[in-house]
Amino acid sequence: MTTNVVQVAYIIAAALFILALKWMSAPTTARRGVIAGEIGMLLAVVGTVLRHEVVSYHWIVVGFLIGTIAGIPLAYLMPMTAVPQRTAISHAFGALAAALIGTAEYYKSTPHGFTMVALVIEILLGFLTFTGSLMAFGKLQEILPGRPLVYKFQNVVNLSIFSAAVLLGVYLIFHPEQTQIFPTFAGLALLFGVLLIIPIGGADMPTVIALLNSYAGLSASFMGFALNNYLLVIAGALDGSSGFILSVVMCRAMNRSFTNVLFGGFGQVQVKAHELQQRTVRSATPEEAASILEAARQVIVVPGYGMAVAHAQHKLRELFDLLTKRGVDVKFAIHPVAGRMPGHMNVLLAEADIPYDKLFEMDEINSEFAHTDVALVIGANDVTNPAARTDRSSPIYGMPILDVDKARTVMVIKRSLSPGFAGIDNPLYYMEKTLMLFGDAKAFLTDIVKELAVGARI
Amino acid sequence: MALNELSVFVFMLATFLGLELIRRVSPLLHTPLMSLTNAISAISVVGAILITGEKDASTLSRVLGFIAVTAATTNVVSGYLITDRMLKMFKKRDDKR
């Protein structure tokens, strides 16, 4: 009887997870998706607790309590600018859970055949995603240097460690009773996770986070194989495919391949082929910027990671309100890899109460720059670099960019002329029509807003 | 144990379904999407409960299972809550107060 109840609960849970993702397709239905997911999870957990194999509850209850106590502040106190870090750490938790369950299952039954294959893959993916996500977290939280750490023969070292882990895994599949091998296998997987992420720079984080998301999901799926539980297989596969699609989207948005992101060591300061000539830039004061913005009919704002760092999104909203009130049409252009994770900019702008129908993807808005009066770039660099279109020698050649250089006037808020993550100079800054607004994004926007507000009162 | 081909079929179908569903998600929502799928994949809490709650589980199983229950529950709770918190922020112009 209970077995049937549990089976039904699992089937409904799987259906609800699928619906949750379906409803995520649009902002109007997305919150319904969350509720569907929550009910699905509740059914799955209650169903599992009811299973007759589960007889000892106290550790489970303690785990639930600690997890809940830790989870609530993680969700509510986390500032939106820190969402990439939170995502990385939650991938670490998910992967750790999968790896530990696999480990416990292995020591319990030392299974043979298909189950062992599934367990080995689950454990390998779980452990490497665990340490990899911790490293990503460290980089995003700036505990670790965000720049890629590269050394000689790095790829050779990484590849041999990975191969060694895989070989031990294969050996364990054929000789599961050799338990003394297992710690080495697990250790190599943990080590590989660290080494995999060390050479990856901050700007590649969107791809890496998406990829780790995918691995965490896959490892849950393989747990489903090992435990013969279809609900786990389905939920893990959904997560795995989601992470996979997002990383493909990110790679495409940078015109790079997976291998290039993972093994390219992109983002090291490259010695520039042509020396920086002494070129002149035009800069402007907040007053000048304000009067140009005020006189415009259409303004497109291009936010980047710099906006997130400066927490400038709320000031930007004030600017948006003031300009909109004066009849200026303000839109936002979001490059897929702007920020540190997929969709990072959208969440920040939404947090600042900027209506989402004003946020446009690259493909939707690129044709509009040509008849836009002002393109206002805030803390974005490489995604606006016209060298990606023209300069074959540039490391970002071929990357799709936002066509800000086609606007009548370009304004760039930036701390200094220092190059972006890839150490690439941006010719945009030296164009005739470009005005550099030097300063902290938040401070500069505050000054512009002040200027416009004074004008409004007169 | 022999190859459980049914679970492989289920995996394959779920992956294709996932690819189709995710493709339709607007890039606007990619961040909440990731936190939602993260919460969903914390379904590993099911495996963790089974390992921890077993009748004659070894100490090792109980300890590993307990850590896994805690980690997965953290993801379930924080994942769903933060997804909802983010989605609440996405407003159109007309539904502003």
Question: What confidence tens digit (pLDDT) does each residue in A237-263 have?
Answer: 999 999 999 999 999 998 888 777 777
Answer with the one of A234, A263, A292 that is the final residue of a domain.
A263
Instruction: Provide the pLDDT for residue A264.
Output: 63
Find out whether A451 and A286 touch, Cβ atoms under 8 Å.
yes
Asked if residue B2 has pLDDT above 60, the reply is no
pTM of the predicted model, to two decimals? 0.91
Of A72, A101, A236, the CB nearest to B41: A236
In A, which residues are within 8 Å of B30 by CB distance? 246, 249, 341-343, 346
Find the mean pLDDT for residues A424-428: 83
Judged by CB atoms closer than 8 Å, whether chains meet at A225 and B8 is answered as yes
Of A66, A94, A246, the CB nearest to B44: A94
Find the mean pLDDT for residues A282-307: 94
Global ipTM: 0.95
Compute the mean pLDDT over every residue in chain B, rounded to the nearest whole number. 91
CB pairs under 8 A between A and B: 392
Partner B contacted by A244 (CB < 8 A): yes
Of A56, A75, A359, the CB nearest to B53: A56
Is residue A73 situated within a structural domain?
Answer: no
Q: Are residues A247 and A287 in the same domain?
A: no
Asked if residue A456 has pLDDT above 90, the reply is no
Is residue A65 situated within a structural domain?
Answer: no
In B, which residues are within 8 Å of A68 by CB distance? 73-74, 77
Find the mean pLDDT for residues A155-173: 95
State the DSSP code for A438: E
Instruction: Give the other-Cβ count within 10 Å of A446's Cβ.
Output: 17
Q: Are residues A290 and A213 in the same domain?
A: no
Q: Indicate the SS3 state at residue B97.
A: coil
- Domain range spanning residue A104? 78-263
Q: Are residues A312 and A205 in the same domain?
A: no
Q: Are residues A102 and A161 in the same domain?
A: yes
Q: Are residues A226 and A352 in the same domain?
A: no
Asked if residue A422 has pLDDT above 80, the reply is no
Judged by CB atoms closer than 8 Å, whether chains meet at B38 and A91 is answered as yes
Instruction: Provide the pLDDT for residue A265.
Output: 57
CA of residue A437 relative to chain centroid, distance:
28
Q: Which pLDDT tens digit goes with each residue over A91-126?
A: 999 999 999 999 999 999 999 999 999 999 999 999
Q: Are residues A310 and A230 in the same domain?
A: no
Q: What is the CATH number of the domain that holds A316?
A: 3.40.50.1220
Answer with the one of A232, A263, A294 that is the final residue of a domain.
A263
Asked if residue A55 has pLDDT above 50, the reply is yes
Q: Are residues A248 and A362 in the same domain?
A: no
Judged by CB atoms closer than 8 Å, whether chains meet at B49 and A244 is answered as no
Q: Are residues A241 and A321 in the same domain?
A: no
DSSP H stretches of helix in A352-396? 362-365, 387-390
Is residue A38 situated within a structural domain?
Answer: no
Is residue A269 situated within a structural domain?
Answer: no
Q: Are residues A452 and A328 in the same domain?
A: yes
Domain count, chain A: 2
Find out whether A349 and A332 touch, Cβ atoms under 8 Å.
yes
Q: Are residues A251 and A286 in the same domain?
A: no
Q: Are residues A241 and A301 in the same domain?
A: no
Is residue A417 situated within a structural domain?
Answer: yes
Confidence of residue A273 (pLDDT cuts 50, 70, 90): very low
Q: Which pLDDT tens digit goes with each residue over B32-50?
A: 999 999 999 999 999 999 9
Amino acid code (one letter) for A133: S
Partner B contacted by A54 (CB < 8 A): yes
Instruction: Provide the pLDDT for residue B97.
Output: 42
Answer with the one of A263, A297, A323 that is the final residue of a domain.
A263
In A, which residues are within 8 Å of B60 by CB distance? 104, 107
Of B40, B42, B66, the CB nearest to A63: B66
* A377: Cβ contacts below 8 Å, ≥ 6 apart: A302, A304, A384, A404, A410, A411, A412, A413, A414, A428
Helix and strand tally (H, E) in chain A? 17, 7
Q: Are residues A165 and A202 in the same domain?
A: yes
Instruction: Provide the pLDDT for residue A366.
Output: 95
Confidence of residue A267 (pLDDT cuts 50, 70, 90): very low
Is residue A5 situated within a structural domain?
Answer: no
Residue A438 Cα, gap to closest chain B Cα (Å): 29
In A, which residues are within 8 Å of B70 by CB distance? 62-63, 66-67, 70
Is residue A211 situated within a structural domain?
Answer: yes
Q: Where are the domains of chain B?
A: 27-89
Confidence of residue A391 (pLDDT cuts 50, 70, 90): confident
Find the mean pLDDT for residues A132-156: 88
Judged by CB atoms closer than 8 Å, whether chains meet at B45 and A97 is answered as yes
Q: Which pLDDT tens digit goes with each residue over B13-34?
A: 999 999 999 999 999 999 999 9
Residues of A carrying an active site annotation: 382
